[in-house]
Amino acid sequence: MTDIRDLNARAVRDSMDVVRQVQVTDLGRETPCAGWTLADLLGHMIVQHRGFAAAARGDGADLKHWEFSPAGADAVQQYLAASEEVLAAFADLGPELDAVLDLPEFKIDPPRFPARVGIGFHFIDYVVHAWDVAATLGLAYELRPELEEDALRITLAVPNGDNRKADGAAFVPALDIPEDASMLDKILLYLGRTPDWRPAP
């Protein structure tokens, strides 16, 4: 069985390659995340990395690790550093992944998940967020073939109910998925993204 940390690490490192192409002048661009600029999106991505890293270290319940702020001029450096932090924290969990992660941004009581499940959430987030940043910049994004099946399987396990209509929901309701859609497009559509989204001129 493939270690979910390996899948996650590949997705995160691909997101790092995309974020390295961000310029300060790009931070005001609109993104596929309604109402968010690229500064907002990168700020979210940075704090999620840090929150998940804290959770892996046993301190995820402390809300200070999840405090959001838009990214500034050092967004790329901050993102790369946060990426390395979360990958190192996940690597330190041990081979059995028997830890439990406190993830207070998930609106259940208690917001605690087995590490394998929590890292699966993180994996899907960064497949989608890498696409978000690439689309914002007008760049092509390709999901690694070796990630496709696991990414789609985990995506389809995400509930698609009224929870997606709540304020602050991670994803909006799923869109119709054509049978001939690519694996990446199926993931995006199920999570409410529009694969042909482009920024306004």
In the chain the domains, ranked by start, together with CATH numbers, are: 4-143 (1.20.120.450)
Which of 37, 54, 12, 7 is closest to 200 using CA atoms?
37
Let me know: does 93 contact 9? Beta carbons within 8 Å. no
Q: How far apart are CA 187 and CA 189, in angstroms?
A: 6
Query: What's the full length of the chain, in residues?
Result: 201
24-77, pLDDT tens digit by residue?
Answer: 999 999 999 989 999 999 999 999 999 999 999 999 999 999 999 999 999 999
- pLDDT at position 171: 80
Let me know: does 143 contact 127? Beta carbons within 8 Å. yes
Which of 142, 148, 128 is closest to 7 using CA atoms?
148
Contacts (Cβ under 8 Å, ≥6 apart) of 15: 45, 83, 126, 129, 130, 133
Q: Is the pLDDT of residue 11 over 60?
A: yes
Which of 85, 83, 84, 53 is closest to 66 using CA atoms?
53
Q: How far apart are CA 32 and CA 194, in angstroms?
A: 8
Let me know: does 54 contact 60? Beta carbons within 8 Å. yes
Q: How far apart are CA 199 and CA 136, in angstroms?
A: 6
73-122, pLDDT tens digit by residue?
Answer: 999 999 999 999 999 999 999 888 999 999 998 877 789 999 999 999 99
Q: What is the residue whose two structure tokens read 């999840």?
A: 66
Q: Is the pLDDT of residue 1 over 60?
A: no
The three-class DSSP label of residue 175 is coil
Return the beta strands (E) in 42-143 as ranges.
100-102, 112-114
Let me know: does 158 contact 190? Beta carbons within 8 Å. yes
pTM over 0.85: yes
Give the CA distances from residue 120 to residues 125, 139, 163, 164, 167, in Å, rounded to whole numbers and listed in that order.
9, 25, 19, 18, 23
Structural tokens at position 191: 């999570």
- pLDDT at position 56: 98
